[in-house]
Amino acid sequence: MYILENITMNEFKKYLRQTKTIVFPFGTIEEHGSHLPLNTDSLIIQEVLKLAAGKKKFFLAPITYYGVCTTTGGHPGTIGITPETLRRLSFDLVTDAYKKGLRNFLLISGHGGSLHMSALKETAEILIERLENSRIAVCSPYDILWKELSDIAETPNDSHAGELETSIMLSLAPELVKGRAREEYPSIPKPFIVKNKVKYWPGGVWGNPKKASKEKGDRAIKIITNKIVGILDLIEKMK
């Protein structure tokens, strides 16, 4: 397991002969209802990547804890950044890693917000044109595995801090789960952009956490881990 912040420069040079792949994880400090911690997105993606690193050699970079949080931006505890900041940061990280000899890049986010993911994808589009012989993938597990993960949840249209995320947290860090919030869904009137989003989504839950279980979390983690390994296998085979 090549945890970037824990290795020396000599180890980096040694491991670079074994893999040219690096994973940059992105998370948030964001409300997840009254029952889950603010680092839920960050914790989940970090722990799943550690499991993937047990199956495959790649450099695992430290997580970027802050992301673009729009709908949850007004809720207590959420501390976000702008899309411009995320674009600039991800651009610089990949560019400098490329200078150090890395060629395969996975930007993976535990947060699936639309503006957040758009910022990462926009950056990747620019980088793939500039960095010769580079391969770049951008994803959130909740986007690419929507059907597989939805099949685990009993709650239709389950999402933020709902049944599935609560289940995964029960599997990875049960001591951080503070009971169960009530079932809730945002009621922001479409297609309007409203300033006071908390008014339309006071509890910050999208789904039914009361249906969560560790067993469902175990199943979701296995699916996500295997998918990440598959993406990394594929990126290394691309020409």
Structural domain for 188, as ranges: 2-237
Instruction: Indicate the helix (H) or strand (E) that contains 138.
Output: strand 135-139
Cα distances (Å, whole numbers) of residue 198 to 71, 121, 188, 192: 8, 28, 9, 14
CA distance 18 to 230: 18
What tokens were used for 29?
A: 């400090």
Residue 235 above 90 pLDDT?
yes
Domains of the chain: total:
1
**pLDDT digits over 128-163, tens only?**
999 999 999 999 999 999 999 999 999 999 999 999
Instruction: Name the pTM for this structure.
Output: 0.96
Picking from 118, 162, 161, 142, the residue whose alpha carbon sits closest to that of residue 223 is: 142
Residues 19-55 as b or e (16 or more Cβ within 10 Å = b): bbbbbbbbbbbbbbbbbbbbbbbbbbbbbbbebbbee
Query: Quick one: pLDDT at residue 1?
Result: 73
CA distance 86 to 184: 29
Give the CATH number of the domain where residue 214 resides.
Answer: 3.40.50.10310
Residue 234 above 90 pLDDT?
yes
Residue written as tokens 């169960």? 180
**pLDDT digits over 30-68, tens only?**
999 999 999 999 999 999 999 999 999 999 999 999 999
